[in-house]
Amino acid sequence: MKYSIVAACVAALLSGFVSAQTPNQEIRVKKAKVEVSTQMTPIIQAAGVTEKRWKPKTWLELDTEFDVDLARALGGDDASYGSLAIQYFIATSGRSKDGKVIVLSGTINYINIPAGENHALAFVTPAALKRALKKEDGGKGDVIAHAVVIGGGGAEPLAVINTQNGKWWEDTNKFEILDNTVIPKAKTPFTVLWGDYDLQSEAK
């Protein structure tokens, strides 16, 4: 395949860039950044149940940090915003049968977004990683590019964190999207961890 995304991503992966979009009249997103890392399956013990033997596996975690400003009419710094959708696109080292770059993707709706600093967590399961990479124990080293699109009430996104220029994930000649492979913390074994660190996702 003539096209190679790997070389173009090496420098970009060190620090993604954020593009601001048309401002929303109710909410504004600032200082947005995302950290891609790996987490091992947490070992949580409980009384009164029969233990089962299992081996912790590697998960991919995306921690998106951003500041929120809310309009004075909504309560300003003392208020919260109803909901905010975030889209995730993770280009991997995996390839489809016809040589396309495998992209893990998902949209998560977060609710009760307070003014100020926020963290939105999202995960890729070990099974989804294996599906994309066709190997065990894939992780951060298999991510060659990523983009996080922070939505809002308007037609345009509030912010885009992107390690490449443009909407590269829309190029169906070079990328194959595996949708619903990026999931909220509430659907993972991490759901009971980290207290009030991160935003609540909408139950579905």
| β-strand pairing of 101-114 with 200-201 | antiparallel
Give Cβ neighbours of residue 167 (< 8 Å, ≥ 6 apart). Answer: 147
The whole-number pLDDT of residue 23 equals: 52
Query: Distance (Å, rounded) from C-alpha 72 to C-alpha 39?
Result: 39
Identify the band that residue 1 occupies on the pLDDT scale cut at 50, 70 and 90.
Answer: very low
Cβ-Cβ contacts under 8 Å for 161 (sequence gap 6 or more): 16, 17, 18, 32, 33, 34, 64, 146, 147, 148, 150
Q: What is the pLDDT of residue 18?
A: 55
The pLDDT tens digits of the residues spanning 139-156 come to 999 999 999 999 965 678
pLDDT of residue 153: 59
What CATH number should be reported for the domain whose range is 5-40+55-168? 2.60.40
Answer for the pair 64, 148: CB distance below 8 angstroms, yes or no.
yes
Task: Provide the 8-state DSSP code for 75.
Answer: T
17-57 per-position pLDDT tens digit: 555 444 567 899 999 999 999 999 999 988 999 989 899 99
- Mean predicted lDDT score pLDDT of the chain: 88
The pLDDT value recorded for residue 9 is 44
Residue 3 has pLDDT above 60, yes or no: no
Cα 5 to chain centroid distance, Å, stands at 20
161-203 confidence digits (pLDDT tens):
999 999 999 999 999 999 999 999 999 999 999 999 999 999 7
Angle at 18 between CA 103 and CA 81, to 5 degrees: 95
> Could you tell me the pTM of the whole model?
0.86
Percent of the chain with pLDDT over 70: 86
Residue 12 pLDDT class (50, 70, 90 cuts): very low
> In the beta sheet, which residues pair with residue 177?
103
Supply the DSSP symbol for 140: G
Q: What is the pLDDT of residue 16?
A: 54
